[in-house]
Structure 1
C-alpha cells in the first residue's frame, strides 16, 4: 500500500520545516514515500534519506523511480532486514518514517531510539491497522519520552516527537 498523496505532502512539509540532516524510512517498497522525503531533503539543500527494503525487486524499482525523479543522490536504500541494515547507521536521526511490516514498527523504533535527536519526529503510517496497537500504546505513553498525536490523513498517521 503506497502512502496517500496527502500523507506524502505531510511528510514533505515535516522534512522541510524540521530540516533534519538524517531521515530514516522503514519500508521503502517502490519508493513513493521516499520521493516525498527526498524532494524535501533536496529542496532544503542538505540531508540524506536512508531507506530500508527487504525485496530486491522493490529496491531496484525504488532506485529507478528516484533516479528518474533526479533524487537518487540524496537517498541510500539499504537492502535487507531493517533491524540489521540500520544497526550501524550513525545519528542523530531527525525524522523516521515507519511504514514497513506493522509488527516491526515498535522494535525498529526501539532500535533507533538511542540515535534519535532531541525533538526528532517519528511518523507511523497506517495506524488504523490492529497490528499497530502496541506501537500506539508505546508512543502515546508519556513515560516513554514522546509527545504523540494521530493525524487524519486517508491512511492514518501518528506523529510523535521525541521529547
Structure 2
C-alpha cells in the first residue's frame, strides 16, 4: 500500500471526490432504473471513506483471498485498495462490476495508472448478470453499489461463498440498507454480522456456510 503510484493516485482521487457536492445534480428520482441513475451520476465519485479503504486493505491482507468480488466500482477508489492488498499478498484477483460506462473506463484507467490492472478486472453492466458467471470460491465481497441491489447481489453470490468468507457492505447507516441488514443479522441465514463505525457505516458479515 506504500507504492507511490497507488498512494499518490488515491490522494488525487479523494481530492476529486471531495468536489462531489459541487457536481451533484441532486438526489435522483427513486423511480428511475439503476441504469438511468448511473447515467445521471456518471460524474460523481461516491467513494468509500479513506478509513474504510484502509479497513478493506487490512481485511484482504488478513483473509488472503484468491477471489474478491466488488459490486459498484465507480471510479475505482475502493478497487484500488482491494487490488493493492491482493498485489501485496502476492496472489489473488479482484472482480468488480459497474453499470456506468463512463465509470468503467475511468476505473480501468486508474487501475492501469496504479499498475494494478493485472490483478483486477472491471466488468461493465448489470451486476446480476455480470457476476452470475464468477467462479467460486469467493472469500471476500464488497457491496457498494445501489443499496436496494445489495441483498439480491449477495443472494446471487451466496452459493459460491467459501466458509468463513467476509462480506463488507458500505453505507450501512442508510435507510435503504434495512432489508440487507435484517437479512445478514438473522443468524438463521448463515451470517455472523457486526456494524463497523467508519463514515456512513460498514456492515462486516462472516459467512458460516450454514
Structure 2 residue aligned with 1:50:
95
Residue 85 (structure 2) pairs with residue 40 (structure 1): yes
Q: Number of residues paired by the alignment?
A: 163
Post-superposition, which runs of at least 4 consecutive aligned residues in structure 1 deviate over 6 A? Answer: none
Alpha-carbon distance, 1:157 to partner: 0.1
d(CA) in 2 for partners of 1:89 and 1:124? Answer: 19
Residue 114 (structure 2) pairs with residue 74 (structure 1): no
Larger Rg: 2
More strand by percentage: 1
Residue 76 (structure 2) pairs with residue 31 (structure 1): yes
TM-score by length of 2: 0.77
Structure 1 residue aligned with 2:131:
86
Matched-pair contact (CA < 8 Å) for 2:174–2:200? no
Q: How does 1:112-151 map to 2 (within 5 A)?
A: 112-151=157-196
Which 5+ residue runs of structure 2 have no aligned equivalent? 1-45
Render the CA deviation track for 1:56-94: whole Å, top value 9, x for unaligned.
Answer: 110000011111011111001110000000111100000
Say which structure, 1 or 2, has more relative contact order (CA 8 Å, 6+ apart): 1
Alpha-carbon distance, 1:154 to partner: 1.0
Match of 1:101 among 133, 146, 150: 146
d(CA) in 2 for partners of 1:32 and 1:3? Answer: 7
TM-score by length of 1: 0.99
Residue 60 (structure 2) pairs with residue 15 (structure 1): yes
d(CA) in 1 for partners of 2:174 and 2:124? Answer: 25
